[in-house]
Each structure stands twice: as structure tokens, then as C-alpha cells.
A and B are shown apart, each in its own frame.
Chain A
Amino acid sequence: MNNNFVLQGATDSTGSTVDVVIESGVLVGKPSAGVDHEVIDCSGLRVLPGFVDLHTHLREPGFEQSETVASGSTAAAAGGFTAIHAMANTFPVADTAGVVEQVARLGHDAGLVHVQPIGAVTIGLKGEQLAELGAMAQSKARVRIFSDDGNCVHDPSLMRRALEYVKAFDGVIAQHAQEPRLTVNAQMNEGALSAKLGLAGWPGVAEEAIIARDLMLTELTNSRLHICHVSTAGSVELIRQAKRRGVKVSAEVTPHHLLLTEDLAGSYDPIYKVNPPLRKQSDVEALRIGLTDGTIDVIATDHAPHPKESKDTDWASAAFGMVGLESAYAIAQQVLIDSGESDFERLAEVLSTNGALISGLSEQGRYLEVGSKANLTLVDPKLAIQMELKTHSMSENNPYAGLSFKGGVVHTIYDGQFSYRNRNIIDRSAR
């Protein structure tokens, strides 16, 4: 496959027009003589570093009715991602070198995006005993981020040990902050609306109390903490204060928490059921401020595919989660650019560079650096997008179906070659 291109006339994140030259999949300063380049007209398109998602549920092994590594990779490439991080709540759980190596291999075989496995913190996600974090770190999957996501590492003693233990291989613990005793059978945000609807509430304090504790443990152990899907104003403020003190914490926010509120639960339609739940408008605003002022480091999709039977039912029986890989960019553009609140430089940080740094992926997030492997995304900020129920994901639990957005991914270049070109997937599976 040809991997000598000139992406002509693109606009970079600062607003300057650039011609991006790629030869043998690597960025070069200018076209070399004697090399046959395919020239691609990119006028009107923004070139950005390939997006990095720190929080993706690929469901394989074990839940292939919802998604596979291959189908998830396809959705990712269509969403402009060149790297995704596969959460460990598969079946079997990704708590051994064997499982994480399998997930990495499946990603490699699909060839569309870098699939970086996340390892479980505890065996079986049970929260009782540490998993073999060292084995996973030293495996071919090179795991650096560990998370029991889906579950909270609620035992403070275990969380302390996990934070200390990963220092040996520069690991980071990514916490799903949810005090289980305060959220027994919780269905939606706790408040006036949950009382009216008769749905058990998930109070913000259940998230904030864990975050407060973990920030202090991180300070004590001098380790690194990452907080998944921050959802409340209170959480944002805790993180802000901790960063001022120099605590080594990073935080992510999902696109749906930047856009949607709990009011949608009034229809009892479980397409809006998610964990942590959609909150109030004041929380949405605090999250947006946190995203622009540096308190929150990345947008992470928490792409959570579910089969139809898990959502086509009553609220309490329905599964938690929404797909999000293919709607993330449009929402990021709406929240950061179209709102006038920020710019493409910040967008590039939160969708790509910061994620690459947190995860230690040296080939990701490198923006137009000569000599780097090409991992780039080209978007058309003016493209009118009509969100459909059916996307590249196997699942259709998409809360944005039927809504119109502005801004879409046109090309995705992964590891030096197109994975998504003119809004079509390129087959790069290893044979």
C-alpha cells in the first residue's frame, strides 16, 4: 500500500495552512526527490494529532454480541481515533498477561487503530486481591494503565497498595469513583427528579468522597492517579485544588457528560441510562470550565456498547452505557470551538496529546513532528452530520440518533496509512 502522501492545504491547530508530507508512513519536512507522492487536497480541513481514547469498552473476549475488538476498532477509526484503551471488564477479565496479550493481538490483526489494553487492578474486578500488575506491565501488551472500571476500588487499603505497587513500572491507577455503599441499586442522579420519577438515586457525594480519599492517598504514596468519567461540579473542584497542590492526578470527562443532563431520564428511556449518571446543567457547566482551564485533561468516550435486548426494556432492568466513539469529535467541536470557549490547540490536547502522555504511548499525540510516525486526523468543521442509530459499532445504544451536529472526521491516518479515507473505512486487517 502506498504510504507517501502530501496532505495539501490543511489548516493546523494554530490556524496556519500546512502541507503535511508523509513518506513511508513517517512525517518529513518536505517532499523527497524521486518519491512518488499522492497529493490529497485537504483545503478546508483541520489536521490534528490522531485522537487517543483512554476509555473504551471493546467487550472482547466474552461479550462479542455487543462489540468485538475489530468492530470497535472500525468505530474508532471512523471517529478519528488512532489509539484506544480497552477496559478490562471483559470475560475473562483482563487481569493476566494472557488476556491482555490476546486483546492486543486482536487489535493488531484488525490493524485500524492502536489497541492498548488496560489491566484490571484486582483479580476478577472483585476488589479483594491485586492482579498480577507486574506481569501485565511486562507482557507484550505493555500495560501502564490499570483500572477496575465498572467497579470501584473501594477498599482504601487496597487502593493504597495499588498506587504504591505501580510505581515500579511507571503505572497509573484509573479509578471508577463510586462508593458502593452509597449507590446500592442506584439508577440515576439523586435529586428532585429522581424523587419524582421513583428511581433510586446516585448521589454526587458517592463520587466525590472516593476522589477526595484517592487524591490524599496519591499524595501519600507519591504515585499517579487518573480519574475516569468525572461527572460532578464537586469532583472538578476537588481535582482543581489537588492539582494546585502538585498532586499527580489526571482526569477525564465523557462527551455525554459535557452535553446531556438528567432531564432526559424523564422519558424512562434507558438509552439515557449510564454510569455515572447524567447530572444537572450546573454540573455540565462546571465540567466544561474544567475542560478549558486544565483541571480536566482529556475527553474519553467510555464507549459502552450493549445489545438491543439490554436496552429495549424498562429502566431498572436495562444496562448502563452509551456508544460514543463516532460522536466524540462533533461534541468536542461544539463544546470547545463553536461555543467560543476554547480553540483547536486545546481540542488537540484533550482529544490526543494529553491522553498519549498519560498512557506513555510514544508514537501517539506527536503533532506534525518531523520523524514521527504519522498518526493524524483530518476533520471538516463545517460538515453537517446527521447522527444515525446505525454506526460502525455493532451496537445501537446511541443517545444522539436523529440529532444534527456540525463537524466530522474525513480522514484518519494510523501508523502511517489511511484507516479511514473520505469517510470510508479502509480494510487493513492482517491476513
Chain B
Amino acid sequence: MRHLLSANDLSHADAVAMLDLAEDMAEVNEREVKKLPTLRGKTVVNLFFEDSTRTRISFELAAKRLSADVINFAAKGSSISKGESLKDTAQTLEAMGADAIVLRHSSSGSAFRLAHTDWVESSIINAGDGSHEHPTQALLDAMTIRQSLSQDVRGRDLRGVRVLIVGDISHSRVARSNLILLSTLGAEVHVCGPATLAPGSLVDQQRVHYLLNQALRDVQPHVVMMLRVQQERMSASFFPTEREYSRIWGLNKSRLAALDEKTLVLHPGPMNRGLEIDATSADSKSSRVLNQVRNGVSVRMAVLYSLLSGEKN
């Protein structure tokens, strides 16, 4: 595998293998000396055209734990803000010796373009392209869900698991990648949100719910994944006010109390506490938000290892 651009790039077998590899990496992350020499001498560039501290740091840590050299290239204050194009920036970095480029960009399909034009030869990892996909996010979500199923998870997929994704599905790359990957792994994925933000043809109509209380009752999900609500959706009339959004689609104390105690609460972060999720829910025993962050490093180590180590795992 040369690139990771979309959750579609992973078959069922690939996905299970990647999650197993991530469990191995998680063990490295528990040691005192959190290091593997595998990618020594390789250079990984984090090419981030959009603001992101968490994902970037996660990839940076992952690369460093594998002993790779890391370069961080952020859009603000760089040549990009002076009008340099994606093509030129990528080629400049490759000329300096990048083996892999982790790309986050506001334009859907930008990672695909970078991988399929003749601009660069490096491996490309999609860290989020517009509203299209964010495959490593889906992998860390899948890993988090899988860990709750049993003690020994290796080789397991997500068959029998019901997941409810709540929020702005139509603009969410996290939702898109999860819809693909969780289904590949056998989970039953439902979505819930205002009809203005509905996923259209991405999801079977029977799995689309417009009201959260009803969705939680009807689906009885094992996992509730809350998506971040963006301000610009309100100004474009996708929903009237934050208060109304929170009232109907927010995860709050009372909705949390009605959930089975084994239900997982996930959120890709950053959270708008009080909007799509309240503090009680975010800090509850059901919340796996910190596990997600931890698993993010492991999953990204697994991906970098798969793409760059040149070894068959």
C-alpha cells in the first residue's frame, strides 16, 4: 500500500490487520522507552493547510516514536499564505527529501490529486481533505470501539455493533470515513441530525433519523459518536440557533442517563462543551474521548509503518 487516501482503500482484511498492528503499537506506547527504530532515516512531513493542533501533534508523535525525522509545515505565516500553490509546496518539500507527506487541506480530493498527479513521488496520507475523508480518524474510532468488545481483540471486527453518528453528516469528513470503515468492519451504522444536514444518498434511508431521543430509543446503539457543530452552518440557515440545536441533538445529562451504562460516547474533538455535548457527558465514565486520542497515535504509527517500513507485517 503506497497511500492512505480514503477509508475505501482498506478491505476488511486490511482494516483488521491495521487495527491489530495498532494494538502492537499501543503496547510500545505503554513502555518506558516509547521508541521503535523502524523508520530511522525516513522523513515525514506534516503538510497542514488548515489549522489543527491535535491531529498534527498526533502524527508528529507517531512518526517520532518510529524514529522518523519530522517536519511540520503549517499554512499560516508560511509561503502558502503568500500564495504558493499545493503543487509547488509539495514539490519543494519532496526536493528536500520527504518520504511521506501527511496532508490536511480544505479542498476535497486534494490528497487524491497529490497522490495521482506526477507532482511528487512520496507516500501520501490523507489527514483530512475538505468535507471528503479523514481515514485515520475512522481507524482510531474503530480501534476504540473494538477495545470495548472484549479483552483480546486481535483478529476481531465490529460485527454486531450498532453505532449512531450524530450531527452535521453532510459536511463531515469524520462521518464519511466512519460510515465506510465501520461498515467494512461489519458494524451497523445509523445517523441522526437536522434534515438540512442529512447525508443524502450516503446512508440507507432506514438508518437516517431526524430526532435524537427517537434515534436513541429505536437504534439502542452500543456507540454514540457526537460530531462537532460548526458556526457557519448556523449562519447559512442549516439550523436556527445553538440553543435549539443543543435541545434536540445535544448529548446532555438526561440523554446520557437513559443510555445503557455500557454504551460508549465518542467525539473526534475539539468539543463545543454545551453545544453538541455537555460537560457531564464529556467527562462521564461512558466517554472514551481520551482513549480516542491515545489510539490516534497508535493508529497513525501503524499507518506510517505500513506505508514506509517496506516490511510485510
Q: Which residues of A contact B (CB under 8 A)?
A: 184, 187, 191-192, 195-199, 267-269, 309, 312-317
A199-B202 in contact given A312-B87, A314-B113, A316-B130 (Cβ < 8 Å): no
Q: Is the CB of A198 within 8 A of B87?
A: no
- With A314-B113, A316-B130 already in contact, the answer to whether A197 and B108 are too (CB < 8 A) is yes
Residues of B within 8 A of A269 (CB): 113
Residues B202 and A196 in contact, CB atoms below 8 Å apart: yes
Contact A192 B113 (CB under 8 A): no
Q: Is the CB of B85 within 8 A of A267?
A: no
A268-B112, A313-B85, A314-B113 given as contacts; is B200 within 8 A of A198 (CB)? no
Give the interface of B toward A (CB within 8 A): 85-87, 105-110, 112-113, 116-117, 129-133, 170, 173, 176, 199-202, 236
Interchain CB contact under 8 A, B199 and A198: no
Which of the residues B85, B109, B113 comes within 8 Å of A198, measured between beta carbons? B109
Contacts of B86 in A (CB 8 A): 313-314, 317
B170 touches A317 (CB 8 A): no
A315 CA / B133 CA spacing, docked (Å): 15
A184 to B202, CA, bound (A): 22
Specify which of A184, A268, A316, A317 lies most central, judged by the most chain B CB atoms within 10 Å of its CB: A268
* Complex-state Cα separation, A314 to B87, whole angstroms: 9
**CB-nearest residue of chain A relative to B114?**
A314
A315 and B202 contact, CB distance less than 8 A: no
Given A197-B132, A198-B176, A192-B200 contact (CB < 8 Å): yes
| Contact, CB under 8 Å: B113 / A268 | yes
* Known A198-B173, A316-B109; 14 more pairs at CB < 8 Å: A192-B202, A196-B201, A196-B202, A197-B108, A197-B132, A198-B129, A267-B116, A268-B112, A268-B116, A312-B87, A313-B85, A314-B105, A316-B107, A316-B110
Write the nearest CB–CB distance from A189 to chain B, whole angstroms. Answer: 13
Known interface pairs A198-B131, A268-B112, A312-B87. Does A317 touch B200 (Cβ–Cβ under 8 Å)?
no
Cβ-defined partner of A195 (8 Å) among B106, B109, B200 = B200
**Is the Cβ of A317 less than 8 Å from the Cβ of B202?**
no
Among A198, A313, A314, chain B packs the most CB atoms within 10 A around the CB of A314
Bound: A312/B108 CA distance, A: 15
Closest to B133 in A: A198
Nearest residue, chain A, Cβ from B132: A198
Beta-carbon contact of A313 and B109 below 8 Å: no
A319: min CB distance to chain B, Å: 13
Q: For A194, give the chain B residue with the smallest CB separation.
A: B200
| Bound Cα distance A238, B176 (Å) | 36
Closest A residue by C-beta to B85: A313
Specify which chain B residues have a CB less than 8 angstroms from the CB of A187 in the assembled complex: 108
B107 & A191 in contact (Cβ 8 Å cutoff): no
Looking at B86, B109, B132, the one whose CB has the most chain A CB atoms below 10 A away is B109
Task: Please state if B170 and A199 are interface contacts (CB–CB under 8 Å).
Answer: no
- Tell which of A184, A196, A197, A313 touches B87, judged by Cβ atoms closer than 8 Å: A313
Shortest B234–chain A CB gap in Å is 15
Q: Which residues of the partner chain A approach B200 to less than 8 Å between Cβ atoms?
A: 192, 195
Expressed in whole angstroms, the Cα–Cα distance for A197 and B110 within the complex equals 11
